[in-house]
Structure 1
Amino acid sequence: MKIKLLLSLLVAGALSVSAQQGYKDGVEYFKAGQYENAKTLLERNLNDASTDKAVAYYYLGAIAVHDKDLTAAKSDFEKGLAADPNNAFNKVGLGELALMGGDAKAASNYFDEARKINKKNAKVMVAIARAYFNTDPVKYAKEIDKNLEQAYKANKQEPDIFVLRGDMKAAEKEWGDAAGNYENAILYSKGLPEAYVKYANAYFNVNPEYAIAKLQELLKESPNSALGQRELAEKYYQNDQWAKAASAYGDYINNPNHFTEDEVRYSVLLYYGQHYDESIAIANKLLASDPNNFQLQRIAFLDKAAMKDYTAAKQLAQRFFALNDPKNKYTSNDYSTYAQVLEELGEDSLAVFEYEKALEVNPEKGDLYKALSSAYSGMKNYDKALEVFKNFIDRGDYVTNDLVILANRYQNVAATSENGSEKKQNAINNAIATIDQVIERVPDHYVPVRNKARMFLVKNDNQPSKEMADTYMQVVSMLDKDPENKTKNKDVYNEAYSQIASYYISERDVPMAKEYYEKVYELDPTNQALRDYIDKMK
């Protein structure tokens, strides 16, 4: 897959302080259901002066609830209340813990305390409804409906109401209704990241372009949302819009609240966009602190191979393949790229082993058979080169040019077999039969006819024959249809005339031989040696 990237992807440093969202990015990730990322950002920004610790601890506690670490959750909610005793949401959190422990009465008391702190606050009521929903949506269906109704009465346009309704529909896999509720949340609160992200996720498999458009809309409203930036980049990536994905990642990793794995992804995208210098610069930076990172080792090796620094690529490949971790899954491309590197370094015998590994991983990839055959041919193992290429042809997924190569593989076997042997005759007959298939497919092309003439030479133990001469005459006749061929295909004329002349020499027909040597001389009138030879012919 070859894609184009924008050239200015590594522009700009970190965002200015005013553009940072700090812990709020963690809140957005939580609300979008990305709990691990949320925890990372909340903890990263916890001691920042701008962080509302009561809010941060509430969401850390909610993440702990999701992870079933109820002890940590209780501690976080209590820390949140210590930071701000009037934070109603930490009361809701403790209430949810009580519900999960089977103490509905204690939970109700906590919820009542939360309501007293923020009377008629729709967000608090929705949080209580969500606590019931998280605990048991069937058992507490009435409580969920009751609190949502109260929230609606308090504020009909509270976006959280519609987000929870959307989540409830999504849990039932009613994606259309879920998306409709998320769209209402967007309508009542432009720039609410979780609503846009959940909406995009609900629609992506049905209409990816529409989902992407929603995320673009989010970033117009909330341009500094790390969640929005990352989700847009990911959706581009998932939709195979790699150039746009790279551009979006390039913007996103300048946000302080990005993740290391995003830089890894960016390095990969730069590689596929053929920006190898930028890609390997990021990979090397990250490898300095994580030297055994499998994906980074891979991309560094692939970058060097693409940059044609084959010596360095070989060294990096050896390091990459030495990572002994069962979790690491090497691809056919890993092995085949290493094989190509070895071929470039003249190590065809080693390349063969790598191509064979590639085929083990992906036996359905036809190009690997061709590459392995070529490697065998490079090490002059023509029998094996033919065997592998025949296996490829037998699969049935081939084009006319593949038949040309197959004919050449047969010819190589014949040319290196003992004269007069059955092996040689079988091979050259198959070569001629195969090239005849090509001629039938492209009857107006001179190249397969020229190849056939060469095969007749091999068939006759490198001695000229009438069938060889007649075939070369066909080549000349085809080339003569275009006068420009005397210039464009001068070498082919030279070969044909020379071989025809040699045939007449073998037949002791000097006049005809002389006639064709004169044609050779016309192509190169500076060839004095040929002129002298012709003049001496009798």
Structure 2
Amino acid sequence: MKMIKKNIALATGLLLMGSTASFAQSLADAKKAIDAEQFQKATSMLKTLVANQPKEGDNYFNLGKVYLLTEDIDSARAAFTNGTTAAPKNALNFVGLGQADLIENNATNAKTNFDKALQLGAKNYQTYLAIGRAYLDQETPDYTSALPNLQKADELDSKDKDPETFLALADFYAQQRKNTEAYPMYLRALDINPNLYRANVQIGKMYKDAFAFPEAEAEIQKVVAADPNYGPAYRELAEAQMQWSFADPKNGPAKKAEALANMKKYLDLTDKSFDSRLRYAQFLVYAGDFATLESEVATLNAPDPKNPKTFVVARMRGYSAVENKKFDQGLKYMNELFARTQDTARIIGSDYLYLGKAQQNLGQDSLAFINISKAVKLDSTKVDELAAIGAKYYAAKNFAKSAQVYEKVAGANSKDPNIAMNYYYLGASHYFAYAYDVRDNKNPTKDALVKADTAFSK
């Protein structure tokens, strides 16, 4: 479930102010909404700005960036292109087009657009900062290309007036787990603007990624105390507490409850757009709260039915139904998921697993075996689910079938902690399959006994 790793960093790149006081205030309000991850609200505000001030290029740039944050590349391109027409001397919309090119793996076009931007704004640190961010804010960041642009932005902003420069440099290091270099950069950003809560949240994230959960919680709680309405703090706090719950079984239930409560606060503080609700739903999967998930995804619909994220919603509907033992409904949802031929490349091991689990619980054991085998082939850590099918056949004394299943189980994951027991059941299945064939006068060869001995010797 991709989400949104880049959203945090991308939001920090919306940094450019307008020229008049009223324009700056309006754009500042829109950017504040973006930073708070209220993307629907920000989109509405920026569309109004574009309509009222059609010659201001920064309006188009920030609108396009919001679309990038919500992974609507086509709308982002349209906004940036309109910006280059409405304000041809504004460098930033060419940067935006270049960032869209990078997202679509077209580095050549991206460089062309970045070069156009530099022709217009080579003396402006914001141009280099935006280009650096564009390279950084990718699913696979291009750190080599990002750094010189961020350093040039720092050089041109010689009086260190803009904390966003240091925030970008800090993120550059933090994303590479270079915490020693990142931390002082976050502090420099906070020295310039103590109310730059994004920096505190990112420091907390840095602690979380280093598994320093108490420190992460303490850092993020500073933001909650300073501004109880800053939604991203609750999101990051929830994610830190959820990881903490997994790492500390003694306090796990309490931390998990705190995490779920804080993620709900995050949702309540956003505009409850499709994207923020989707993030909340994905967190419920991570938390294993399938009862709440089922209720949430039941009414989670994208404004555009063609939105590719509807695939993720369909997946979560299937998973939650199966986990809540509504197997008929789960099978229906999973079959609908696999029927989306346009999304075939997005199918993962867990999809086959949940399809197989639904089938298994509806007595469709042969189909369950096929699909759970596919799940294990894609992700060998799911081998225990396949072993459960073998155990079911073994208990039913269908030893030929259990041998077939355990053969796959034993060969799937040599590091499985249950590997010895799986070999035992493989050997026993072959042995009893032979014995029953002898009993039934089927004149079996001794191949099954050889296979049994081989399995027992493992």
1:280 is displaced (CA, Å) by 1.1
Q: Out of 346, 350, 354, which is 2:363 matched to?
A: 346
The separation in 2 between residues aligned to 1:148 and 1:326, in whole angstroms, is 49
Question: Residue 358 of structure 1 corresponds to which residue in structure 2?
Answer: 375
- 1:196-207 aligned within 5 A: 196-200=200-204, 205-206=209-210
- 1:54-453 aligned within 5 A: 58=58, 60-61=60-61, 69=80, 71-72=82-83, 75=86, 100=117, 102=119, 129-131=125-127, 133-134=129-130, 145=155, 147-149=157-159, 160-168=161-169, 176-187=180-191, 189-200=193-204, 205-206=209-210, 209=213, 210-234=215-239, 243=256, 244-271=258-285, 273-287=287-301, 293-326=310-343, 328-363=345-380, 365-374=382-391, 382-393=399-410, 396=414, 397=416, 398=418, 401-402=421-422, 405-419=425-439, 423=444, 427=448
Q: Structure 1 pair 164/339, CA: closer, same or farther in 2 (3 Å)?
A: closer
Q: Structure 1 pair 224/38, CA: closer, same or farther in 2 (3 Å)?
A: closer
For residues 351-393 of structure 1, what are the alpha-carbon distances to aligned partners after superposition, in whole Å with 9 as ceiling and x for unaligned? Answer: 2222232233235643244245346558875324213314534
Contact 1:64 1:73 in 2 (8 A): no
Contact 2:150 2:169 in 1 (8 A): no
Q: Structure 1 pair 212/182, CA: closer, same or farther in 2 (3 Å)?
A: same
SS in 1 for 2:229: coil
The separation in 1 between residues aligned to 2:396 and 2:150, in whole angstroms, is 73
1:323 is displaced (CA, Å) by 1.6
1:329 is displaced (CA, Å) by 2.4
1:287 is displaced (CA, Å) by 4.0
| TM-score calculated relative to the size of structure 1 | 0.53
The separation in 2 between residues aligned to 1:290 and 1:135, in whole angstroms, is 30
Q: Structure 1 pair 44/200, CA: closer, same or farther in 2 (3 Å)?
A: farther
Q: Structure 1 pair 42/327, CA: closer, same or farther in 2 (3 Å)?
A: farther
Confirm whether residue 43 of structure 1 aligns to residue 43 of structure 2: yes
1:427 is displaced (CA, Å) by 4.8
Task: State the number of aligned residues.
Answer: 363
1:298 is displaced (CA, Å) by 1.6
1:250 is displaced (CA, Å) by 0.9
Contact 2:327 2:361 in 1 (8 A): yes
1:253 is displaced (CA, Å) by 1.0
Contact 2:427 2:451 in 1 (8 A): yes
Identity level (%): 17
1:283 is displaced (CA, Å) by 0.7
Contact 2:163 2:193 in 1 (8 A): no
For the aligned residue pairs, the C-alpha RMSD in angstroms reads 5.0
- 1:458-497 aligned within 5 A: none
The separation in 2 between residues aligned to 1:362 and 1:146, in whole angstroms, is 49
The separation in 1 between residues aligned to 2:46 and 2:421, in whole angstroms, is 64
Q: Structure 1 pair 75/218, CA: closer, same or farther in 2 (3 Å)?
A: farther
Contact 1:404 1:434 in 2 (8 A): yes
Contact 1:183 1:199 in 2 (8 A): no
Q: Structure 1 pair 226/53, CA: closer, same or farther in 2 (3 Å)?
A: farther
Which structure 2 residue ranges, 5 or more long, are not aligned?
1-25, 69-75, 91-113, 133-146, 247-254
1:219 is displaced (CA, Å) by 1.9
The separation in 2 between residues aligned to 1:268 and 1:144, in whole angstroms, is 37
For 2:326, the aligned partner's letter is: D
The separation in 1 between residues aligned to 2:286 and 2:348, in whole angstroms, is 16
The separation in 1 between residues aligned to 2:361 and 2:273, in whole angstroms, is 37
Contact 1:42 1:60 in 2 (8 A): no
1:224 is displaced (CA, Å) by 0.9
SS in 2 for 1:423: coil
The separation in 1 between residues aligned to 2:366 and 2:125, in whole angstroms, is 68
Contact 2:57 2:83 in 1 (8 A): no
For 2:297, the aligned partner's letter is: A
1:247 is displaced (CA, Å) by 2.8
For 2:31, the aligned partner's letter is: V
The separation in 1 between residues aligned to 2:151 and 2:420, in whole angstroms, is 67
> Larger Rg: 1 or 2?
1
Q: Structure 1 pair 193/372, CA: closer, same or farther in 2 (3 Å)?
A: same
Q: Structure 1 pair 330/100, CA: closer, same or farther in 2 (3 Å)?
A: closer
Q: Structure 1 pair 169/364, CA: closer, same or farther in 2 (3 Å)?
A: closer
| TM-score calculated relative to the size of structure 2 | 0.61
1:72 is displaced (CA, Å) by 0.9
1:300 is displaced (CA, Å) by 1.5
SS in 1 for 2:341: coil
1:161 is displaced (CA, Å) by 4.1
